[in-house]
Structure 1
């Protein structure tokens, strides 16, 4: 099944917000091997790639949309970009909304682009993550 191009523009708000804790920032920095002191302490800011897991609840809803027919085992992650308004900080309560922004087919592969907006629950823009995935439609694997 290929994706219906009319799905472009569909949005997927994460079911709940995420309260960023300084320990989670430190754990993430440790996991990626980054000892930067900015990622530790009371005034910790998050590493740039921390935005991806913050948006994963919304992105997971896109993947689970039965009308899109995406299957994780047929996906290759092709590109990831981050655009920040300001760093994500310990204490931020973050809401995420993922939008399917583009779709095309190339040589039988679905090329899907999404943008996930991260905002504080008070409405302050924090960051936008742009993700491109390649998806092999069922039957082509």
Structure 2
């Protein structure tokens, strides 16, 4: 099966994500982010934030949930067992903090076929109350079945 380039440009329905204080703390511990604002509401308040502040790469938690729609879309034709993550870039507009309800909408920006595979690039816009929080651009290398033959 090959990747359906006709899906290029399609935007998927937004998903929502409620940012929890414990989720921020657990993520910070996992990525070894040690700033007190990731763990203590008081430290975050001292910096002008309403609650604990997520480390910058926390946006990946939200974007991957939104990007799952592309993998699940049978019209695209991606077999996740044949996917290698090639690149991920973040543009941060404002820090993500606990208590926010984020909305993440993903667009299948580009599909570049290469032999028996494809580079699939997605862009996920993460917002809170329509205000931008982060833009995540992700590129996957997808091997098609023809390559395995």
User: TM-score of the superposition, structure 1-length normalised?
Assistant: 0.92
Tell me, yes or no, if the aligned pair for 1:70 and 1:135 is still in contact at 8 Å.
yes
Which blocks of at least 5 consecutive residues in structure 1 are unaligned? none
Report the Cα offset of residue 138 of structure 1.
1.8
Which blocks of at least 5 consecutive residues in structure 2 are unaligned? 42-50
The residue number in structure 1 matching 2:95 is: 87
Q: State the superposition RMSD in angstroms.
A: 1.3
Q: Distance in 2 between matches of 1:55 and 1:14?
A: 10
Given the alignment of the two structures, is residue 51 of structure 1 paired with residue 59 of structure 2, yes or no?
A: yes
The residue number in structure 2 matching 1:98 is: 106
User: Which is helix-richer, 1 or 2?
Assistant: 2
Q: Distance in 1 between matches of 2:124 and 2:22?
A: 24
Tell me, yes or no, if the aligned pair for 1:111 and 1:133 is still in contact at 8 Å.
yes
Provide, for residues 18-64 of structure 1, a one-character-per-residue CA deviation record: whole Å limited to 9, x for no partner. 11122110100111122221211123111111101112221111100
Report the Cα offset of residue 133 of structure 1.
0.5
The structure having more radius of gyration, on CA atoms, is 2
Tell me, yes or no, if the aligned pair for 2:111 and 2:120 is still in contact at 8 Å.
yes
Report the Cα offset of residue 12 of structure 1.
1.5
The residue number in structure 1 matching 2:47 is: none
* Aligned positions, number: 139
Tell me, yes or no, if the aligned pair for 2:9 and 2:107 is still in contact at 8 Å.
yes
Which 4+ stretches in 1 moved above 3 angstroms? none
Report the Cα offset of residue 103 of structure 1.
0.9
Report the Cα offset of residue 139 of structure 1.
3.4
Match of 2:80 among 60, 72, 85: 72
Q: Secondary structure at the match of 1:13?
A: coil
